Amino acid sequence: MRQQKMYPELFTRYENNPILTIADWPYPANSVFNCAATKYNDETILLARVEDRRGMSHLTVVRSKDGFSNWIIDEKPTILPDPKNYPEEVWGIEDPRITYVDELDEYIIAYASYSRGGPLVSLAKTKDFKNFERLGPVMPPEDKDAALFPVRFGGRWAMLHRPASTIPGAGAHIWISFSPDLKHWGDHRIVIKARQGGWWDANKIGLSPEPIRIPEGWLILYHGVRRTGSGVIYRLGLALLDAEHPSKLLRRSDEWIFGPQEHYEREGDVDDVVFPCGWIVDGDQVRLYYGGADTCIAIATASLQELRDYVMTCPTAQNSERWG
């Protein structure tokens, strides 16, 4: 019998997945998922999206020494929507990404504020994950799945984000924008397009965790959404952006590299979703923190070297017609 040729398995699920569910929570809530992740002092910090029974989300900090187990959850919500001072947060705050900015010695959090006009991108900053200062709404709706780059380019901050249009044929693509001050943004352009037709990432894509600098450029993990007869499937692909000019897409995987498989990814409030909002590089180990089925938090690990090797085998811009 011939052995079936397998796809490379870049990410491996952690054996004790899911690591966090609502059963772990110190206060009543409906679900906990889509968390940002970063290193703070010697700890792994997750900023988890928590949805209450009204249907609205807030963010809560969770800490662990080893990044895998013994999670300490803040007793109360860490960042609650503040619609009185920030009307754009009226229906909750969601899906954070954290970028540590060395130059500021601060963590910048990009998150979705669910405004009366739809979800939009807001920024906040913190030094200690106890005190947070909001920078306000930085993109009008509908826009989400945003993360800041940790460095400036030609003096300007850069952010990836995903505005959405419902105009037939337009599609939801990953855009890049630039800012002199983190508050006012412009120079908007598409950097990664959703493909068309039968591709796994046709019509709708979005950034997953924040960009990671590798020697080859900026490593991007993004999600592609396939619409099926019974709903959606959220899967992940890799891309590489130019180190100096991050609006330039250098490589992009043809195939998805991680997708819903286990029951905690297959069944939940939104079935068939893996949705990472954070990853941490420790030596060669990459720990990817992702929401499973909009219901729990899970971990998958990878070797950074293997991710780098893989992305460098992906098609280049010469084949860009297949990029949508």
Partner 1 sequence: MDFNSKEQRIKPIFQRFPDNPILTPSDWPYPVNAVFNPAAIEVNGETVLLVRVEDMRGFSHLTLARSENGYSDWQVEERPALVPDPTFNEEQWGIEDPRIVWLEERQEYAITYVSFSRGGPLVSLAMTRDFKSFHRMGCLVPPEDKDASLFPRLVNDHYVLIHRPIIRGEAHIWISFSPDLKFWGDHQVLIPARPGWWDSHRVGLGPPPIETPEGWLIIYHGVRMTASGSLYRVGMALLDLDDPRKIIRRTENWVFGPKEGYERMGDVPAVTFPTGVVVDQSSGDVRMYYGAADSYVSIATAQLDRLLEELKK
Chain contacts with partner 1 (rule: CB under 8 A): 87-88, 115-120, 136-143, 161, 163-167, 170-173, 175, 177-181, 183-190, 193
Residue 304 in contact with residue 280, Cβ under 8 Å?
no
Distance between CA atoms of residues 77 and 226, nearest Å = 33
- Vertex 55 angle, CA 288 and 261, to 5°: 35
Of residues 139 and 298, the one with the C-beta less far from partner 1: 139
**Cβ partners under 8 Å of residue 12, min gap 6:** 300, 301, 302
Of residues 173 and 287, the one with the C-beta less far from partner 1: 173
Of residues 65 and 183, the one with the C-beta less far from partner 1: 183
Smallest separation, CB 166 to partner 1 (Å) = 6
Smallest separation, CB 179 to partner 1 (Å) = 6
Q: CA torsion sign, 156 to 162 to 165 to 168? A: positive
Smallest separation, CB 135 to partner 1 (Å) = 9
Q: CA torsion sign, 268 to 50 to 151 to 154? A: positive
Of residues 125 and 173, the one with the C-beta less far from partner 1: 173
Smallest separation, CB 157 to partner 1 (Å) = 10
The burial class, CB within 10 Å (0-12 / 13-18 / 19+), for 135 is middle
Smallest separation, CB 78 to partner 1 (Å) = 25
Of residues 141 and 259, the one with the C-beta less far from partner 1: 141
Indicate the residue type of 187. D
Residue 33 in contact with residue 25, Cβ under 8 Å?
no
Distance between CA atoms of residues 37 and 278, nearest Å = 4
DSSP 195: B
Smallest separation, CB 61 to partner 1 (Å) = 27
> Which residue, among 217, 192, 236, has the nearest Cα to 324 in the 3D structure?
192
Of residues 162 and 287, the one with the C-beta less far from partner 1: 162
Of residues 119 and 276, the one with the C-beta less far from partner 1: 119
Smallest separation, CB 301 to partner 1 (Å) = 34
